[in-house]
Structure 1
Amino acid sequence: MSEPIDPYYAVIFTSTQKENIEGYPEMANKMETLAKQQTGYLGMDSARNNVGITVSYWKNLEAIKNWKQQSDHVIAQHKGRKDWYSWYNVKICKVEREYEFKI
């Protein structure tokens, strides 16, 4: 993530996938590309093993609301519930401070 302005918001999307996720990788790539074009988008971190965790970072709650309602993202959400996820959880958090360690 590149130098966000504090405070900012994090959307934490945690999920487990079904066995057959045909079309999912393509849609995930499309959503990442599209999210980067949204006003207020700050970055994303993602990891997947048995459980997937994607954290997207946003300037404000309005940007998050607009992303949730973006037409292509609405289609992806529907396909996710119908075809790809057996479970998911979304948390929206205000990040008031951050720091890191790096060698």
Structure 2
Amino acid sequence: MTERSAPNDPHPTSRFEPGQVVTVFRSRLATTGATPGVPDGYPEMADRMVELGTSMPGFVDFKTFTADDGERLAVITFADEQSQLAWRRQNEHALAQEAGRQRFYDEYSLQVCTCDRVSTFDR
């Protein structure tokens, strides 16, 4: 499994609070492109979305994981529903969403949840 995250914080659990909005994005990349399993243009688009998303007001956390079978999971946290909706509707992100449906993903699912409770442990 590979992992990618932003920003770097030695104690990431300290950022989580009830009321935050968490988006769970599960996907499989399209099987086309010069690099097996990576559609042409996807890495650049993904890097731009990380840059843009992490600069949005209300951004809290972002992390991605890739399973051995190729399924990808991104967990994105915003401070509240308005911040998450602003990200969802951001113009460049909306264009990337369309490109994802047209070129980058074979499949995806999205769950948007409001956090009811937080429990943490830090050593």
TM-score (norm 2): 0.76
- 1:46 partnered with 2:58: no
Q: Deviations over 1:3-49 (max 9, x none)?
A: 23322110000011111211111111110110011111101111013
| Gap runs ≥5 in structure 2 | 1-11, 33-38
| Gap runs ≥5 in structure 1 | none
Percent identity (aligned)? 24
In our comparison, the structure showing a higher alpha carbon Rg is 2
**Structure 2 match to 1:7:** 19
**Structure 1 match to 2:46:** 28
Q: Number of aligned pairs?
A: 103
- 1:18 partnered with 2:30: yes
Amino acid at match of 2:25: F
**Which structure ranks higher in relative contact order (CA pairs < 8 Å, sequence separation ≥ 6)?**
1
**Structure 2 match to 1:64:** 84
TM-score (norm 1): 0.90
Give the aligned CA root-mean-square deviation in angstroms: 1.5
